[in-house]
Structure 1
Amino acid sequence: MNNSDDLPIALSEKLSLNEKLAYGAGDLGPAITANVLGVFLLIFFTNVAGLKPGMAGSILLISKIWDAINDPIIGVLSDRTRSRWGRRHPWMLFGAVPFGIFFFLQWVVPHFSNDPIANQWGLFWFYVAISIVFNSFYTAVNLPYTALTPELTQDYDERTSLNSYRFAFSISGSILSLILALGIFAAFKGDPAKQYLVLGGVCAVLSVLPLYWCVWGTRKRVAITERQRQETTTEASLPYLEQLKIVFSNKPFLYVIGIYLCSWLAVQNTVSVIPYFVKNWMQLEDADFTKVVIAVQVTALAMLFVWGKVSQRYGKKAVYFMGMTVWIIAQVGLFFLQPGQNILLYVLAIMAGFGVSTAYLIPWSMIPDVIELDELQTGQRREGIFYGFMVLLQKVALAIGLFIVGWVLQKSGFLETVSGQPAPIQPDSALWAIRMLVGPAPLVVLLIGLGLAYLYPITKEVHAEILLKLQERKRAQAEDT
């Protein structure tokens, strides 16, 4: 009845290498798709599909309005899911294939009318529809995946280690997608529409398969911890709005989402504008901006495990401050960078990678601690709704970044490429806007994020006290039964 043979496995705080690798693989597909969309979608819309920059940026913003409703609801539904595969795995199993299909469809350029204005609006609504459906399936696979973290281990440092594996796969996926882009763009040089279509197809396949590896590799531990959760957790179901009220009364969670939103606004704003910065301001080739982003991602990957070790010694807040400081210096340097300073461009990209690494690692390793504080206060575990807002914020940051870049470029007089004609020379007003977007704009939100990190209250010692109180409660409940 008590399944005592399973308890040592579930209670062991150390995960095996195979479990960590399988868990990490679950973020490979979402990372590939998110990175390709973040780096290439806006420039694909303006330079291949021929949409105006403001209209292109609006597409992502509209899809995120749906996500504002969709993400928390899927979070609650995954919390309430009951199956022999646990709460999270069914979403990943059945959502994976549609997730890949609708990612691919975003790179199709249909023709709706010979009238340029009518064709613009046809393309606009086509991409809005595809983006809404794709983002729904992105949420269906990625949100339950992220909610697995606190179900796999309760150890403060082990969670940082687990997230190091996760983001090692995540950043590797981002790097892989950029390397694929370089190869595919070279193979289909001169045909931009085919370049992006092939890139979309290859990345769609690569994004689906690792999700099944994740489910297979974590299934045993998830099954055991889910059984324990059902035996020890009160299952009183609260209305959705009541759950939202509880979540947003959790002050440490508000700090975490603030830190995360600031970090990812800076990431997505920079990633969105860097193609225009490298091509139009630095006067380099199309392939060079991909190489710059690779330099950032390779550095972020290399630093993940370094920051993980530093965090064990000095804490998560200290690591965040270290990484952000280097990143801020890099953003300021990009603003003052001049055409021809190509080596310095890559130096600054590497420096930015130090901070981007902490933007991946630290907020996500804070969230499980917040969830356990909520469990201590309410008697329930509601990972889905907490992670729902984290996934939502990541996509909101992407949407806001693309929207801001698109509209600022349009208001500055940026000239979009007309199909079949050479790229236009941009006016000084557009070049100034590009420089402001790559330097001062991210700087402001990074400084706000540092202030929020300073105020974040859950230290390693506080988390240990939370776990101790939870264990005492569960022991008392076991004695009562």
Structure 2
Amino acid sequence: MDATVQPLDRRTLARYAIGSLGTGGFATLPGLVLVYYLTDTLGVAALAAGLLVAVAKIWDVVIDPVIGNRSDHSLATTGSRRRFMLIGALALPVFFALTFAVPAALNPAASMAWVAVAFLGCATAFSLFQVPYIGLPAELTRRYDDRTRLLTWRVVVLTIAILLFGAGGPILRGLSDDPRVGYLLMAVVAGVVIGAGLLVSTTIAPLNPPIARRSPNAPLAESYRAALAALRRSVPFRTLLGTFVLQAVATGMMLAGAQYVATWVLRSEAAVTLLFVALIAPALLCAPLWGRFAQRVGKERAFALSSTVFAVAALSLLGMLVVPGSWVYVPVAVAGAAYAGMQSLPLAMLPDVISADARTSGDGHAGTFSGVWTAGETMGMAFGATALTLVLAVTGYAERIAGETVEQSGTAVTGIILSFSVVPALLIVTSLLPLRRYRLRRADIDTIAPLNRQRKDAS
């Protein structure tokens, strides 16, 4: 059924949103524990750990536009993007468990190689699902406010996933006295939950008649040409993507740094669970509020306000240099309330961008846009984690193998705090500069659906 007239019922909302249980889990848990696992269990140097994560994310950047283009091709020739989503949903739990199944007999260099191969498999499987998943809202509904509703409930589930995996993952890890066993237990349980969420959402991909005869897949170069063409012709896409990537760097840096703050600033590894509860509980409550606020003032204004609140809250965490303590949970909670808007609103704006482009370039390019978007988000999160490890290396962070006892210098602790406060705040403020050129409004989007419908009827 055409997205212009397809009802956005509760079943559609629920099946789409449940996919974020998986995507949120995979986006959260590796970002939270992978670098720490490498440096404090496997004995990998901080800089090398950061490079490993960066290589995996660069691989994402390489393959995401290709997957997006192939997804568009699959839609044209089979009528659905479901095949890609299903392959990713089945493969991701397997590679996720392997990432944290490094044999104890391996030295740090061999352990790093094991993790690199397994995590590359994770990244590929995740992209196979995530790229078409991100593009689906443009096909599920063409209405401006319906997209806000769709993505708001997706972010509600996303925040639940972040809380579940961010708080529950470390708890599972701590069930064994052997850190290696604890990490493996965490990975197996988390992988099953992630896979289940992804599999449910594969059913939401529309099954429509093919719109083109089967043809050989385009060469790889065509995928990148299509991605560059989308960036070149769509000013709203460039501006929104630029903002979102910079914010991904900021949040990626804070996510990777949370465990270090808990261990070396708050002096409790278990405090990372409280940090996540403080961050996500307000986000869970505020996601629907940001959706309602966006309906009143527009998505772009609500997005800018949520970003500003987040930046102020992050900057206030600089106070840990003077008085580290439980007060930090208050600004973290404020940041969590803002984070709900920073996640749901740009994702609700993306299908508007795709619809605006379809008015001049035709339908069927959602996969290309979502491939570039996912690549940008992945690159941003990777740079965030890599930036953290650079700060740790420069400030003299001492890595360790499981069971060893080390003490960090004051300079290293200062580096951890700066990477959790000032640097993310500056990145968020900088991200608002490209957003000033975003010009799509409700009136622009709600006139597109009837135009597209008339064009289809005429053809």
TM-score, normalised relative to structure 2: 0.93
Report whether the alignment pairs 1:461 with 2:443: yes
The alignment partner of 2:399 has SS state of coil
Cα 1:86–1:294, aligned 2, differ >3 Å: closer, same or farther?
Answer: farther
Equivalent in the alignment of 2:37 = 44
In 1: Cα distance, 2:262 partner to 2:148 partner: 34
In 1: Cα distance, 2:347 partner to 2:327 partner: 31
- Report the CA distance between 1:121 and its aligned residue: 2.1
- Report the CA distance between 1:124 and its aligned residue: 2.1
**What amino acid is the match of 1:149?**
P
Q: Is the 8 A contact 2:321 2:417 kept in 1?
A: no
Equivalent in the alignment of 1:259 = 243
Equivalent in the alignment of 2:194 = 207
Equivalent in the alignment of 1:426 = 408
In 1: Cα distance, 2:76 partner to 2:439 partner: 36
Equivalent in the alignment of 1:156 = 144
Q: Which runs of 5+ in 1 are unaligned?
A: 1-5, 114-118
**What amino acid is the match of 1:391?**
T
The alignment partner of 1:386 has SS state of helix
Match of 1:272 among 244, 256, 265: 256
Equivalent in the alignment of 2:314 = 331
Q: Is the 8 A contact 2:167 2:272 kept in 1?
A: no
Match of 2:211 among 230, 249, 253: 230
Match of 1:302 among 274, 285, 295: 285
The alignment partner of 1:81 has SS state of helix
In 2: Cα distance, 1:310 partner to 1:286 partner: 37
In 1: Cα distance, 2:362 partner to 2:426 partner: 39
Cα 1:242–1:38, aligned 2, differ >3 Å: closer, same or farther?
Answer: closer
In 1: Cα distance, 2:315 partner to 2:225 partner: 43
In 2: Cα distance, 1:206 partner to 1:409 partner: 32
Equivalent in the alignment of 2:48 = 55
- Report the CA distance between 1:176 and its aligned residue: 1.1
Provide, for residues 55-79 of structure 1, a one-character-per-residue CA deviation record: whole Å limited to 9, x for no partner. Answer: 1111011112222221100100011
In 1: Cα distance, 2:363 partner to 2:23 partner: 29
In 2: Cα distance, 1:364 partner to 1:417 partner: 39
Q: Is the 8 A contact 2:23 2:198 kept in 1?
A: no
**What amino acid is the match of 2:61?**
A
What is the aligned residue count? Answer: 452
In 1: Cα distance, 2:224 partner to 2:125 partner: 23
Provide, for residues 200-238 of structure 1, a one-character-per-residue CA deviation record: whole Å limited to 9, x for no partner. Answer: 00000001112222233x25xx12xx34x839xxxx989
Provide, for residues 123-174 of structure 1, a one-character-per-residue CA deviation record: whole Å limited to 9, x for no partner. Answer: 2222221121110111011111121111110010000100012111111111
- Report the CA distance between 1:291 and its aligned residue: 1.3
TM-score, normalised relative to structure 1: 0.89
Equivalent in the alignment of 1:141 = 129
- Report the CA distance between 1:181 and its aligned residue: 2.4
The alignment partner of 1:286 has SS state of coil
- Report the CA distance between 1:85 and its aligned residue: 7.1
Counterparts of 1:12-411 in structure 2 under 5 Å? Answer: 12=5, 14-81=7-74, 86-111=79-104, 119-188=107-176, 190-216=177-203, 218=204, 222-223=206-207, 226-227=208-209, 230=211, 239-249=222-232, 250-282=234-266, 284-338=267-321, 342-411=325-394
Q: Is the 8 A contact 1:91 1:140 kept in 2?
A: yes
Cα 1:13–1:447, aligned 2, differ >3 Å: closer, same or farther?
Answer: farther
Cα 1:215–1:240, aligned 2, differ >3 Å: closer, same or farther?
Answer: closer
Cα 1:467–1:53, aligned 2, differ >3 Å: closer, same or farther?
Answer: same
**What amino acid is the match of 2:99?**
Q
- Compare 408-417 and 82-91 and name the one that shifted more: 82-91
- Report the CA distance between 1:358 and its aligned residue: 1.7
- Report the CA distance between 1:111 and its aligned residue: 4.5
Q: RMSD value over aligned CA atoms?
A: 2.2
**What amino acid is the match of 2:445?**
H
In 2: Cα distance, 1:431 partner to 1:415 partner: 11
- Report the CA distance between 1:435 and its aligned residue: 1.9
**What amino acid is the match of 2:396?**
G
- Compare 463-472 and 330-339 and name the one that shifted more: 463-472
- Report the CA distance between 1:448 and its aligned residue: 1.6
In 1: Cα distance, 2:174 partner to 2:224 partner: 51
Which structure is larger by alpha-carbon Rg, 1 or 2? 1
The alignment partner of 2:211 has SS state of helix
The alignment partner of 2:31 has SS state of helix
In 2: Cα distance, 1:395 partner to 1:246 partner: 20
Q: Is the 8 A contact 1:267 1:356 kept in 2?
A: no
Q: Is the 8 A contact 1:257 1:390 kept in 2?
A: yes
In 2: Cα distance, 1:86 partner to 1:13 partner: 16
- Report the CA distance between 1:241 and its aligned residue: 4.3
In 2: Cα distance, 1:255 partner to 1:292 partner: 31
Q: Is the 8 A contact 2:279 2:332 kept in 1?
A: yes
**What amino acid is the match of 1:230?**
I
Q: Which runs of 5+ in 2 are unaligned?
A: none
Provide, for residues 282-307 of structure 1, a one-character-per-residue CA deviation record: whole Å limited to 9, x for no partner. Answer: 3x311112210221122112111110
In 1: Cα distance, 2:104 partner to 2:180 partner: 13
In 2: Cα distance, 1:460 partner to 1:350 partner: 31
**What amino acid is the match of 1:197?**
L
Equivalent in the alignment of 1:3 = none
Equivalent in the alignment of 1:116 = none
Cα 1:237–1:109, aligned 2, differ >3 Å: closer, same or farther?
Answer: closer
